Amino acid sequence: MRVLLLGYVVRGPIGGFAWSSLQYLIGLMKLGHDVYFLEDSGDDDECCYDPETSEMTKDPSFGLRYAEEIFAGSGMEQRWAYYDAHRRQWLGPCAGSTRDIWRTADALLNLSGCNSLREWSMEVPIRAFIDMDPVFTQIRHLTEPEAMDQARRHTAFLTFAENIGQPECGIPNDGLPWMTTRHPVVVDRVPIAPKGDGGNFSTVMQWQSYPDRTYGGATYGNKSESFTPYLDLPKRVKAPLELALGGDPAPRHLLKKNGWLITDPYEASRTPKAYLAFMRRSKAEFTVAKHAYVATSSGWFSERTAAYLASGRPAVTQETGFSRWLDADVGVMSFRSPDEAIAAIEEVCGNYARHAGSAREIAAEHFEAGATLTGLLAKLQAAKATNGVRTNGGARAPVAQMDRAGDS
């Protein structure tokens, strides 16, 4: 298949975003697919983040240089382009052939739905919305008509909320026919850390990614909301706890006062290589999840945590309902309260070799890109058959058909 990945690299030149896209791209290439990375600026003037100035701008210069750097050596060097809507111009190595790439594509994967689908996008017969931020995605569709209109331009909908549609899952229903998926990891491309019990329990996190959302009388919060009960955790465990912490509202002074080690998030995750190196020098991950993921029992599991596991580092992570499908008592330790978190940290420290030895095995069993992406593409083909989407050749999916997909 010719598969187009629509991601967030030029506009978000940060290691975690780039690592996420690379796992899809490399994984699809290893399966033998013909893969391209395409990104759209959108129409907002403040679309591109420049880490050197910490400002949002419409100038993609920094991001274009960054994309060239991170795609080097990946097999994607000549297989990416960026559409600058402000100049109405394609940029990047395959800028001159984008018309043909779109026309002959079999499927597109729109990560987080963060790329606008324009008229040329609609020529692709399978258009998948990959929801990496459940709850907030569904509420946005329910409260912002323009977001729902963009979502309905897709023909298939997949989410990291693996419990969606189950009785215990409280994600608001936006009416879209969500199927489940999880983040792929090309395990053999992730360097494994040497066995050893040095380093800190660490994570990379944003304190407040965006405002909390209220819907149906309930408020759905960020990691800042989840973190409050764990503020004094460093005083209650012997293991050092480290946060590569982003976000202006973060109470860094209060966190340091309670014993948290605070690291510059940009230095820890400037590139995918730096991102993985930060994990490897850690002993394990300790992390909370966004309040919304926890409160709805979504079943979401972090792509960052999957990378820790692939690096041979165990994880102590807040329960979101993922134990329904990831039944592990070694390598991954879940918690629902500070006391459970303390017990999990002590268990990992006391039996470190056992937990570290299982971490990469869990990554390979549950997140390996080959199986994950094969399953994703099979679901897209099944949705295509169910919806009657026509095969490739420049044909557009009928508008009425797209409406049915959005309303089912």
pLDDT in tens, 382-396: 988 776 543 333 333
**Nearest of 66, 275, 268 to residue 185 by alpha carbon:** 275
Q: What is the pTM of this model?
A: 0.93
- Predicted local distance difference test score (pLDDT) of residue 406: 29
Please state, as a whole number, how many other Cβ atoms lie within 10 Å of the Cβ of residue 30: 16
Give pLDDT tens digits for 265-297: 999 999 999 999 999 999 999 999 999 999 999
**76 to 124, 269, 340: CA distances (angstroms):** 21, 21, 43
Q: Which CATH number fits domain 188-367: 2.130.10.10, 3.30.70.360, 1.20.1640.10, 3.40.50.2000?
A: 3.40.50.2000
Q: Which residues, at least 6 apart from 275, have a Cβ–Cβ distance to it below 8 Å?
A: 15, 16, 19, 204, 268, 269, 307
Name the 3-class secondary structure at 381.
Answer: helix
Give pLDDT tens digits for 61-93: 999 999 999 999 999 999 999 999 999 999 999
- 61-79 burial, b if ≥16 CB within 10 A, otherwise e? ebbbebbeebbeebebeeb
Q: Do domains 2-186+370-407 and 188-367 have the same CATH topology?
A: yes
Name the 3-class secondary structure at 218.
Answer: strand
Q: Provide the residue ranges of all domains of the chain, joining segments of one domain with +.
A: 2-186+370-407, 188-367
Per-residue pLDDT of the chain (408 residues; tens, 9 = 90+): 999 999 999 999 999 999 999 999 999 999 999 999 999 999 999 999 999 888 999 999 999 999 999 999 999 999 999 999 999 999 999 999 999 999 999 999 999 999 999 999 999 999 999 999 999 999 999 999 999 999 999 999 999 999 999 999 999 999 999 999 999 999 999 999 887 778 999 999 999 999 999 999 999 999 999 999 999 999 999 999 999 999 888 999 999 999 999 999 999 999 999 999 999 999 999 999 999 999 999 999 999 999 999 999 999 999 999 999 998 889 999 999 999 999 999 999 999 999 999 999 999 999 999 999 999 999 999 988 776 543 333 333 332 222 222 222
**Nearest of 369, 299, 9 to residue 134 by alpha carbon:** 299
Q: Strands 178-180, 34-40: parallel, antiparallel or unpaired by DSSP?
A: unpaired
CATH code linked to domain 2-186+370-407: 3.40.50
CA distance 341 to 216: 31
- Residue 108, beta-bridge partner list: 4, 127
- Predicted local distance difference test score (pLDDT) of residue 394: 34
Structural contact between residues 20 and 183, judged by C-beta atoms closer than 8 angstroms = yes
**Nearest of 370, 220, 236, 271 to residue 67 by alpha carbon:** 271
